């Protein structure tokens, strides 16, 4: 299994609070991705990174920001959590375009 | 924007049956197509990756095919087992990956 650790695994937070999710990899892969998974929508890309300090938006980036200061860590921040951001968040990595994506086990976030 | 569809949404078969899962996509300008398995409460496990220049890939009892011109891929599972019960997702890779909503497979002992 690819060495991907997501933390926390579960989190409950209140509307309006900031939340940061962490993805840590031990594979030294260049590309890292944050997805959310919701019933009826499948997985949708939030943000991705193609190197340290190099990030770009996905299709559902509003309300989210990311940072990558080291190859192994990719952080996803919900600046002010809303109930619509209740979801399961997955991190994925790949060494280069055209190679398989490998996923972490996800973070289940509930915003009350 | 790429649209990826998986039909059926759910499938139930008796153990031992051969089965086919379908994935269709709207834009044929893809780099690759990947099939995943997801167990309840877990992440996605990569099963097979087909590059755009390839027609099929095989791994054990799994065979995935790709027809770019028609925008279709199939995942063939031979001699299904109860342990194959899971949700199967396809993802189409271009400048980013686009996912279908999956087919939930139940194999009945």
The model's pLDDT over B50-90, given as tens digits with 9 standing for 90+, comes to 999 999 999 999 999 999 999 999 999 999 999 999 999 99
CB contact under 8 A, A103 and B44: yes
**Closest CA of chain A from B82, distance in Å:** 22
Q: What percent of chain A has pLDDT over 70?
A: 98
Count helices and strands in chain B by DSSP H and E runs:
0, 11
Q: Which of A42, A92, A100 sits opposite B102 (nearest CB)?
A: A42
Cβ partners under 8 Å of residue B100, min gap 6: A42, B4, B5, B6, B23, B89, B90, B91
Residue A48 token pair? 């991705």
């Amino acid at each position: 299994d690819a060495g991907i650790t997501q933390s926390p695994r579960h989190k409950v937070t209140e509307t309006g609070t900031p939340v940061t999710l962490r993805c840590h990899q031990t594979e030294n892969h260049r590309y890292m991705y944050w997805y959310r998974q919701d019933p009826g929508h499948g997985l949708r890309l939030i943000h991705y990174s193609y190197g340290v300090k190099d990030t770009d938006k996905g299709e559902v980036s509003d309300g989210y920001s990311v940072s990558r200061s080291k190859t192994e860590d990719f952080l996803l921040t919900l600046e002010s959590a809303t109930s619509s951001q209740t979801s399961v968040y997955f991190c994925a990595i790949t060494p280069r375009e055209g190679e398989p994506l490998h996923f972490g086990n996800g973070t289940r976030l509930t915003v009350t | 924007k790429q649209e990826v569809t998986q039909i059926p949404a759910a499938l139930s078969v008796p153990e031992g049956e051969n089965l086919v899962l379908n994935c269709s996509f709207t834009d044929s300008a893809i780099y690759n197509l990947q099939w995943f398995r997801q167990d309840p409460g877990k992440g996605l496990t990569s099963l097979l990756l087909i590059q755009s220049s390839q027609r099929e890939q095989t791994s054990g009892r799994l065979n995935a095919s790709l027809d770019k011109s028609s925008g279709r891929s199939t995942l063939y599972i031979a001699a299904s087992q109860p342990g194959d019960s899971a949700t199967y997702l396809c993802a189409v890779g271009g400048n980013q990956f686009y996912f279908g909503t999956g087919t939930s497979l139940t194999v009945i002992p």
